[in-house]
Structure 1
Amino acid sequence: MNKGTPVILLLALAACSQEQPREIPAPSPAAQAIGEARDCLPLTQFSNTRIRDDRTIDFIGGAGNKVWRVTLPNRCNGLKSANTFTYETSLTQLCRQDIIYPLQQYGNNWQRGGGCGMGPFVPVKLAE
C-alpha cells in the first residue's frame, strides 16, 4: 500500500457520508389550536377535507365553520399530489389509529396507494 491510499479512502468516506439536500415542503396555512386534541371524529361532523401537504389534512365541518387539523406522524407519500384519499372503518368515526390511503387516478381507474397512519384531530382556527 502506498502513502496516498489512506487519503483517497478518507475522501471517499467523506463523500458518502455527506447529507443529501432534502426537499422542504411548502408550509401549511397557519392554524391556531382552539381546543383539546381528540382521538376520533364522527363521520357526520365533517363534510369536506383539504389536503395541505403530505402530512397535513384539514377536516372541515358543516358550513366550514369548524376545522380539525390532523398532522400525520409520518410523511404520506403521494397524498398531496393525489389530493384525495380513502379509508376503511367499521365504526361511524375516523380515529387516530386508522389508516388512510392516497388515491391516484390513472385514466378512468383509481388506484389505492400505500397506507398512512392518522394522527389526533385538533380543532383549529385557520389564519386569514
Structure 2
Amino acid sequence: MSIRTPVRLALGIALCCAVAPAFAKKDVPDPYVAKGEPADCIPIRSIQSTNVRDDQTIDFIMNGRKIYRNTLPNSCPSLGFEKRFLYKTSLSQLCSVDIITVLWNAGPGLQPGASCGLGKFQPMEKAAK
C-alpha cells in the first residue's frame, strides 16, 4: 500500500462530503392547502394511491382526484425514507384510530418496521397561483 492510497481515500471522502449538500432535497413549496373540516375516516375502496411526504405526512389520493392529508400525531421512523406502509383493518374504512406499519426494503422482500398511529384526514385542494 503506497502513501498515495490514503491520500486518495481522504480526498475522495472530502469530495463526497463537499458534493453531498448539492444533492440534498430542495424545499419544495406545498402545492396544496387545507379545505374544509378533517374527517375521522376515508373509504378504503376509494383510495387510488398514496404519497408519503415525510415521516409524519401522507397524502391519500382518492378516486376523483380528491386528496386527504393525514398528519400523524407523532413522527414515524423511516416512513419518509421508505415511502411505503401497510395497514390492517376489518372495516371498509381507514380511520384515525388505525395503525400503519412502515415496510422496509430488506433484500429479497419487505420487512415490517415501525408501527404508528394515523391522525385525522384533512381534505386538501390545489393552492391558487
CA drift at 1:27: 6.9
CA 1:71–1:28 in structure 2 vs 1: closer, same or farther (change >3 Å)? farther
Question: Superposition pairs for residues 28-107 of structure 1, below 5 Å?
Answer: 29-63=30-64, 65-107=65-107
**TM-score of the two chains, using structure 2 as the length reference:** 0.73
CA 1:89–1:28 in structure 2 vs 1: closer, same or farther (change >3 Å)? farther
Partner SS state of residue 81, structure 2 = helix
Structure 2 alignment gaps of length 5 or more: 1-26
Q: Is the 8 A contact 1:71 1:120 kept in 2?
A: yes
Give, as a single letter, the amino acid of the residue that structure 1 aligns with 2:106.
Y
Counterpart-to-counterpart distance in 1, 2:93 and 2:74: 21
Partner SS state of residue 114, structure 1 = strand
CA 1:28–1:46 in structure 2 vs 1: closer, same or farther (change >3 Å)? farther
Worse-matched range after superposition: 66-75 or 29-38: 29-38
Residue number in structure 2 paired with 1:17 = none
Partner SS state of residue 47, structure 1 = strand
Counterpart-to-counterpart distance in 2, 1:110 and 1:70: 23
**Which has the larger share of strand?**
2
Counterpart-to-counterpart distance in 1, 2:44 and 2:116: 19
Counterpart-to-counterpart distance in 1, 2:36 and 2:76: 25
Partner SS state of residue 80, structure 2 = helix
Please tell me whether Structure 1 or Structure 2 has the larger radius of gyration of its CA atoms. 1
List per-residue Cα deviations over 1:17-67 (Å, max 9, x = no partner).
xxxxxxxxx57725211121110001022110000000000000125x210
